[in-house]
Amino acid sequence: DGGITQSPKYLFRKEGQNVTLSCEQNLNHDAMYWYRQDPGQGLRLIYYSQIVNDFQKGDIAEGYSVSREKKESFPLTVTSAQKNPTAFYLCASSIYGQPNQPQHFGDGTRLSIL
Amino acid sequence: AQSVTQLDSQVPVFEEAPVELRCNYSSSVSVYLFWYVQYPNQGLQLLLKYLSGSTLVESINGFEAEFNKSQTSFHLRKPSVHISDTAEYFCAVSEGGGTSYGKLTFGQGTILTVHP
């Protein structure tokens, strides 16, 4: 079954620590996305990548970093510069350059501060 | 720039009653419209989409949405809800056009709670 796998499901961050959230897809999609979800605010785009070795900042990229070394993988690092990291993080993928195609989502990672 | 407004943050309703979740959007170009559903601690699942053609689109579990271009709306309806429909619903817009990469803009979400 094709899909998107996010891990871990729950993650805790200590003060000053960087943490990395994993996102893997086997849908053969070129485009991948990271969103942050806070109650009552919908989903906000952090970073997106349309092709391997290329990525772009979204609306709230400060305090986050990404890499795209493989088509299947798009990890997100929450750095110590992100002062309010507590949120639900969702990874998605879609067919490149097709705005009429839906994005497919993973089951999310919930990040909390210790 | 495109934007999406979901007019109700929470909608409580009794089982077997009808429900409407409202969504308005703004965009200067043609759009594609989506409704997603999210159950607690899960990702988003596509419920239905409007791409072109008939303005009324339906999902397999009884939801329907109507695209109204003049009112820039895409309201979601169900004639009779079940307890299992309790979830958060998101309206999303993607802009057409040659430079679009498929960015989705989401509304703030509407929490539908179905009471017995």
Residues B73-114: pLDDT tens digits? 999 999 999 999 999 999 999 876 655 566 789 999 999 999
* Distance (Å, whole) CA A12 – CA A86: 9
The answer to whether residue B31 scores a pLDDT higher than 90 is no
* Distance (Å, whole) CA B73 – CA B76: 10
Residue B21 CB coordination number (10 Å): 24
The reply to whether residue B106 touches residue A42, judged by beta carbons under 8 angstroms, is yes
* Residue A11 at interface with chain B, using a CB cutoff of 8 Å: no
pLDDT, average across residues A92-101: 86
What's the Rg (C-alpha) of chain A? 13
Residue A3's pLDDT is 94
Give A14's strand partners: none
Calculate the average pLDDT of chain A: 93
> Which residue, among A38, A55, A103, would best test binding to B if mutated, counting the most B CBs under 10 Å from its CB?
A103
Q: What percent of chain A has pLDDT over 90?
A: 77
A90 → closest Cβ in B43, B96, B109: B43
pLDDT, average across residues B34-54: 91
* Sign of the dihedral defined by the CA atoms of residues B95, A59, A84, A77, in that order: positive
The answer to whether residue B115 scores a pLDDT higher than 90 is yes
The reply to whether residue A100 touches residue B95, judged by beta carbons under 8 angstroms, is no
Residue A106 CB coordination number (10 Å): 23
